[in-house]
Amino acid sequence: QKEVEQNSGPLSVPEGAIASLNCTYSDRVSQSFFWYRQYSGKSPELIMSIYSNGDKEDGRFTAQLNKASQYVSLLIRDSQPSDSATYLCAVGLGGGADGLTFGKGTHLIIQP
Amino acid sequence: DAGVIQSPRHEVTEMGQEVTLRCKPISGHDYLFWYRQTMMRGLELLIYFNNNVPIDDSGMPEDRFSAKMPNASFSTLKIQPSEPRDSAVYFCASSFVPGPLSSPLHFGNGTRLTVT
């Protein structure tokens, strides 16, 4: 049974600060990791993908992967009110072997 | 690119009625996925197709659920008969997998199903 765990929140962060979102996964052979953002009533949209251990930066977003600890994180620098949303962590085994397994998401609130 | 297109956006039906959800994937994508999202269970994979062939339907909750993909540009998810516990948002997603690693999914806008 593949599981992806996230703290449901809400996580409240002041505007301009760094928001840190965490995710753990159970299947050790997982190879592909994604962060999606979902606004209320909308569909999930891809923010970051990461496949190798270490950090990957894209603008204000940094994804971090530690396969030994089975841990993925997302940092959002200079948080803006528009970053307020639910952030979903998704994990895949690779090669389309199955669909992505999603965590239930962390509700992030950026306080102006 | 038009993205993944789902219809209808909203569906309200009475218990026992048949419901059909429709999806058009992104052109060129060879994988199509049906997910269901509820507050309690989050996003759950129901079934996925590769090149129009169903690969894994282990997430389909009951025999009341069925899915087809008659061609590369169209898929349906049918619930017959529908029950109130089927109320959820149903997402269709597609992807192109060029190599050994999973590719990100591109989601449609979803169908919000309410069964009374």
Q: Give the pLDDT of residue A48.
A: 95
Sign, CA dihedral B60-B65-B68-B73, equals negative
Q: Give the pLDDT of residue A56.
A: 97
State yes or no: pLDDT of A2 exceeds 80.
no
Contacts of B42 in chain A (CB under 8 A): 88, 102-105
Kindly compute the dihedral angle of the four CA atoms of residues B42, A42, B57, B48, in this order, to the nearest 10 degrees.
-140
Model confidence band, residue B79 (pLDDT cutoffs 50, 70, 90): very high
Using CA coordinates, name the residue in chain A closest to B100.
A95
Given an 8 Å threshold on Cβ–Cβ distance, is A102 in contact with B31? no
The strand pair at B74-79 and B65-71 is best described as antiparallel
For chain A, the residues whose C-beta falls within 8 A of a C-beta of chain B are 31-32, 34, 42-46, 49, 51, 88, 90, 92-105
Comparing CA positions, the residue from A108, A27, A38 lying closest to residue A75 is A108
Give per-residue pLDDT as tens, B16-43.
Answer: 999 999 999 999 999 999 999 999 999 9
Contacts of A8 in chain B (CB under 8 A): none
Given an 8 Å threshold on Cβ–Cβ distance, is A100 in contact with B107? no
Q: Give the pLDDT of residue B1.
A: 63
Would an 8 Å CB–CB cutoff place B34 in contact with chain A?
Answer: no
| Alpha carbon of B48: minimum distance to chain A alpha carbons (Å) | 7
Contacts of A102 in chain B (CB under 8 A): 35, 42-43
Give per-residue pLDDT as tens, A42-79.
Answer: 999 999 999 999 999 999 999 999 999 999 999 999 99
Share of chain B above pLDDT 70, in %: 98
Structure tokens at B44: 């759950």
When pLDDT is averaged across residues A12-36 and rounded to a whole number, the result is: 95
Share of chain A above pLDDT 90, in %: 85
Q: Tokens 């993925």 identify what position?
A: A72
Structure tokens at A14: 């002041």
Model confidence band, residue B104 (pLDDT cutoffs 50, 70, 90): confident
Residues 6+ apart with CB under 8 A from A20: A73, A74, A75
Q: Give the pLDDT of residue A96.
A: 55
Q: Give the pLDDT of residue A50.
A: 95
Q: Give the pLDDT of residue A95.
A: 60
Q: Give the pLDDT of residue A97.
A: 62
The mean predicted confidence, pLDDT, of chain B is: 94
Asked whether the beta carbons of A4 and A23 are under 8 A apart, the reply is yes
Q: Give the pLDDT of residue A99.
A: 82
State yes or no: pLDDT of B74 exceeds 80.
yes
State yes or no: pLDDT of A98 exceeds 70.
no
